[in-house]
Amino acid sequence: MSETTSSNMSSHPAFELLRTQKIDSLKVEIEEYIHLKTGARHLHLAADNDENVFLVGLKTVPQDNKGVAHILEHTALCGSERFPVRDPFFMMIRRSLNTFMNAFTSSDWTAYPFASKNRKDFDNLLSVYLDSVFFSSLDRLDFAQEGHRLEFEETNNVESNLTYKGVVYNEMKGAMSSPISQLWQTLTKYVFPTTTYHYNSGGEPEHITDLSYDELIAFYRKHYHPSNAVFLTFGNIPAFEHHEKFEELVLNKFDKQHEEIVVTDEKRYFSPVRIQESYPVNSEDETQKKTHIVMGWLLGHSFNLEQNLEAHLLSNVLFENSASPLQKALETTSLGHAPSPLCGLEDSNREMTFVCGVEGSEVDSTEAVEVLVNSVLEKVAEEGVAKERLEAVLHQLELSQREISGDHYPYGLQLILGALSPMLHGGDPVELLDLEPVIENLRNKIEDPDYIKGLVKRLLLENPHRVTLSLKPDASYEGQREKALQAELAKIKDQLSSEEKQQIVDQAKALAERQSQKDDETILPKVGIEDVPLALSIPESKTYASSSNIETYGQGTNGLVYHQVIVDLPALSEDEISVLPIYTSCLTEMGAGNSSYLDIQNKQSEVTGGIAAYSSIKGSIDDEQNVSGYIVFSGKALARNSDALALLMKEIVLDVRFDESERLHELVSQIRAKKEQSITSNGHGLAMGAATSLMSPIAKLSFNLGGLLGIKHIKELDDSLSDPKALKRLQAALSDLHEKVSSSKRRFLVIAEPEKVDEVAQFASNIWDSVESVDHEAFSLKPVREQVKQGWLTATQVNFCAKAYPTVAIEHADSAALTVLGGFLRNGYLHRTIREQGGAYGGGAGQDSGIAAFRFFSYRDPRLEETLTDFDRSLEWMQTENHEASALEEAVLGVVSQIDKPKSPAGEAKSDYHSELFGRTAEQRVRFRQRVLEVTLDDLKRVTKRYFSPEKASVAVVTSPTNRALIESLGLDVQEL
């Protein structure tokens, strides 16, 4: 770690360099600047990385539930001074080679980030983002489209009923259909009674419709100013070059804003508060053991490094794994099915919140849950925690600090998001990024056996600002809400004059015309096919010399080691296949050999970053019906613990046992809870899974085990395990399956720093070479290629629609054209009809060559039958319209940017290895990429004609029970979750 002053570096004259600091563990040098004229701050994370990241963040502090910050985030991206087109954000997605583009609304900030490996593309996106944020058009019709509007159900018929429409309105109806979202929003409403966190920054649907256009404009003028902004960048573009762009495009046009936007500290309660509220379920049958009971404490400032790390330490001590005191108590109690998904520390707000509790309980257990939690905390405060447990927690913090992630978000963006909140709240972002000195300080503090005891007392037991919330199910809730909404709309309609009714009709017409107009896209910058890298980046691997089944990758992992044991999946019976997801989910959570599950949990946290298992089953590249599969055991550790990781993985792979019956029942209940929570957040994925469920063996397997049918089955299994005989049968089935798996042929993957990788491989070879294996009959599945028409009913305020067609596997010559077609239909037709006109949060289409199917989908959609019709009309549009070459180029760029999207060093190696394992060789991947680049408009029309016969379509929707009659009229089989 080193610091320099501004005299050591040259700065742009409009900026002053405040400091620099190198953080070796992150491989970055941080430079902090301030813009002299406006006071805007810039944090640059200089790194030897060509995936450059930009983010502009603004403190946004709503004072109601109307969703003004969220609607503004959407509307700001609908045109600006330099780029007066109605949809520059989505246009740029398809005119770009970005590796990430999005915008976020948090509880007290709004952020606009993007990333790209192409410098021309980075500059293009920067110009559009900066103009969108600071010089937004904020057209009144865009507010109507993205926020909310009134329309007649029959657009031109003023006698028909009124309805609310709007993208954010429907997004939040979908988001707030999740009981967990309602739980969090309700808890924070009471934990924060007076500050901005009291409100739902995304907007409550019932309040979103109260937001006026004038309120939106006023909020924009106050909050979207450079003086209220922070700029964060990561990568190998020098800060000076960023400053030139910031100054030229934005900052020279502004003066300092003297009104500072602040978030004050929350006023404290003098004694704990107990609250009871409700959430909707479908029927009275679903009200038993469905109550969520959580306790939330308000802690200190998130941006105070010492307070932050102490709170994290305490949270991890209590919750880090199943052997941790509070986690163990909540997993094993009969007061609930599973620990609440809210358990842990939330530190993204100005002040931190610690939460614990259970789900799957009853309202009358509230006091008992409080007693249970307090008794655990009191025991920890009296007895403390073993020093090795504290060291294990610090080990996990060290590992997370060192790991180069980036398989979901770009690595640089993850670092930037960690620095954003302290920058906005007045903390030190550099200090919060550089954890190593603080971890060392905590190592010294835990030498004192009274340290953790004191933390528990001070932060929790003696902290009166505590809220206990019981959120109970109510079968009448949804009906009452819908009744109130319809009464409100009827009242509004009764009070409308003839002129006001005509204004609603005229606005709908004007909006439809705006949505259908063809903007001049040439005013937006773009990259083209000529900017696409010629070669696909493929990591280099080698077979370890002394053992042909160990493959190694020498990668820049920042001192971490990644180890996988890949076991050939043997032939399985239908009963064995049915327990496969339970097996892979539970086996790293059970005991092994002479160690209990608590011992194994402790060993994992002491020497690894976690060990997981999963099944990997795919079809061949030229035949989706021909499948093969593996069980993958995957772990990671700091290099100093690589031997311990390998030995622990061997113990789990060979000797896991399923005789701890109570533990197994707890895990099944936890799996059930997670699956049920996924329905409203992943409804479109579940609908597509149902629509394709009989198109290939893998699609059927995914649907049966992890899709909608899988969710239904896990609920039935969990309910059955209260019978000891059923639990014993499950234990026996898992043990029998493991006997097959543990004896099957194995191969190994090792990823480490180049100078370390052979040493790690040698140790793996030493410990495994003497372990025999058996040549089992190979895993296979019965061929299937049938049609599906299903409607699934669940508690949701919005719909998720899917339609699918059988197509071809990835090696087929048409696979590339079908892959490009998905983006082409989304860009040219589906985005406009489903999102802009239909009001859904999202919609699109895509080829899934793994199951040889093409899938249409909509997400958080107020419509149902009309959306299914739009899917069909997009195919007619493809066939009958004359299309421009530029639209094809955009669709091709979208596919190539996904193919070329960078991963973490370890993720890149894992992806390459597992692709090769299933015949997706480097040559095949290069060949497919080249085919994508060669797709023509004629190819798109040809495959549309060839594969999309209406009689071959499969359909599935996830919807509310109120739509039962509608889905029956559409000829869909009704299923209930």
Give residue 867's pLDDT band: very low, low, confident or very high (50, 70, 90): very high
CA distance 343 to 360: 14
pLDDT single digits (tens) 500-523: 999 999 999 999 998 888 888 899
- Whether the per-residue pLDDT at 2 is higher than 80: the answer is no
Tokens at residue 71, please?
A: 């609607």
Assign 57 a pLDDT band (cuts: 50, 70, 90).
very high
Q: Does the pLDDT value for residue 172 go beyond 50?
A: yes
| pLDDT (mean) for 521-526 | 93
d(CA 269, CA 185): 19
For residue 88, give both structure tokens. 């520059």
Contact 151, 163 (CB under 8 A): yes
Alpha helices, DSSP H only, in 428-519?
Answer: 429-433, 436-445, 451-456, 477-495, 498-516
Q: How high does pLDDT run on average in the chain?
A: 94
Summarize pLDDT for 870-885 with one digit per residue, the tens: 999 999 999 999 999 9
pLDDT at 797 over 80: yes
Cβ neighbours of residue 962 closer than 8 Å, sequence gap 6 or more: 482
Contact (CB, 8 A) for 118 and 102: no
Beta-carbon contacts of 13 under 8 Å, excluding residues fewer than 6 positions away, are none
3-4 and 15-23 beta bridge pairing? antiparallel
d(CA 432, CA 309) in angstroms, rounded, equals 9
Residues 6+ away with beta carbon under 8 Å from 425 = 263, 301, 302, 303, 350
What's the burial of 778, exposed, middle or buried (CB within 10 Å: 0-12/13-18/19+)?
Answer: middle
CA 416 – CA 234 distance, rounded (Å): 8
Please, which pLDDT band fits residue 402 given cuts at 50, 70 and 90? confident
Task: Report the distance separating Cα 809 and Cα 800, nearest Å.
Answer: 26
Query: What amino acid is encoded at 727 in this protein?
Result: L
Strands 273-280 and 466-474 turn out to be parallel
Among 10, 125, 104, which residue's Cα sits nearest to residue 58?
104
Given the structure tokens 């959120």, which residue do they identify?
A: 471
Token output for 320:
């880090």
Local confidence band at 134 (pLDDT 50, 70, 90 cut-offs): very high
Q: What is the mean pLDDT of residues 56-76?
A: 97
- What percent of the chain is helix, strand and coil (3-state, nearest 5)? 50, 20, 30
Residue 777 has pLDDT above 50, yes or no: yes
Question: Whole-angstrom Cα distance, residue 233 to residue 112?
Answer: 12
Q: Which option is the CATH number for 3-177+202-261+517-523: 3.40.50.920, 3.30.830.10, 3.60.15.10, 3.40.1350.10?
A: 3.30.830.10
Q: Helices (DSSP H) in 826-956: which residue ranges?
A: 865-880, 885-899, 905-917, 922-933, 937-947
Provide CB contacts within 8 A for 173, sequence distance 6+.
Answer: 205, 797, 798, 860, 862
Asked if pLDDT for residue 749 goes beyond 90, the answer is yes
Portion of the chain with pLDDT greater than 70, in percent? 99
pLDDT the model gives residue 439: 85
Residues 309/435, Cβ–Cβ less than 8 Å = yes
Asked if 232 contacts 46 with a C-beta cutoff of 8 angstroms, the reply is: no
Instruction: Give 328-359 as a 3 state SS string.
Output: HHHHHCCCCCEECCCCEEECCCCEEEEEEEEE
DSSP letter for each residue of 1-61: --EE-GGGS---TTEEEEEEEEEGGGTEEEEEEEETTT--EEEEEE-S-S-EEEEEEEE--
* Distance of alpha carbon 101 from alpha carbon 595, whole angstroms: 46
Q: Which of 192, 109, 195, 201 has its CA nearest to residue 426?
A: 109
C-alpha span between 300 and 461 (Å, rounded): 15
E strand segments, 660-782: 746-752
Cα distance from N-terminal residue to C-terminal residue, the chain: 55
3-state SS, residue 214: helix
With a CB cutoff of 8 Å and minimum separation 6, the contacts of 319 are 326, 327, 343, 344, 356
Indicate the residue type of 185: Q
**Least confidently predicted of 215-219, 426-430, 615-619, 711-715:** 426-430
Distances (CA, A) of 156 to 167, 314, 866, 873: 21, 61, 17, 22
Instruction: Return the amino acid letter for 460.
Output: L
* Residues 831, 835, 836, 839, Cα dihedral to 10°: 170
> pLDDT digit string (tens) for 354-375?
999 999 999 999 999 999 999 9
pTM score, whole prediction: 0.92
Percent of the chain with pLDDT over 90: 86
DSSP 774: B
Name the pairing type of β-strands 291-301 and 351-361.
Answer: antiparallel
Confidence of residue 401 (pLDDT cuts 50, 70, 90): confident
Q: Report the DSSP beta bridge partners of residue 844.
A: 857
Instruction: Please answer whether residues 717 and 586 qualify as being in contact, where contact means their C-beta atoms are separated by less than 8 angstroms.
Output: no
pLDDT at residue 9 in the model: 57
pLDDT exceeds cutoff 50 at 6: no
Lowest mean pLDDT among 476-485, 696-705, 951-960: 476-485
Residue the block writes with tokens 């701050």 = 41
- Above 70 in pLDDT, residue 4? no
107-116, 396-405, 947-956: segment of lowest average pLDDT: 396-405
Between 399 and 126, the more confident residue is 126
Cβ atoms of residues 29 and 43 within 8 Å: no
For residue 458 the two structure tokens come to 């001070």
Q: How far is CA 514 from CA 86, 366, 510, 690, in A?
A: 8, 53, 6, 35
Report pLDDT for 642.
96
Given a cut of 60, is residue 922 above it in pLDDT?
A: yes
Across 901-926, average pLDDT: 95
Contact 201, 72 (CB under 8 A): no
- Quick one: three-class SS letters along 243-309? HHHHHHHCHHHCCCCCCCCCCCCCCCCCCCEEEEEEEECCCHHHCCCCEEEEEEEEEEECCCHHHHH
Residues 713, 977: Cα–Cα separation, whole Å: 10
Q: Extract the runs of DSSP E, i.e. beta strands, from 665-788.
A: 746-752
Task: Say how far apart CA 445 and CA 843 lie, in whole Å.
Answer: 52
Residues comprising the chain, all counted? 977
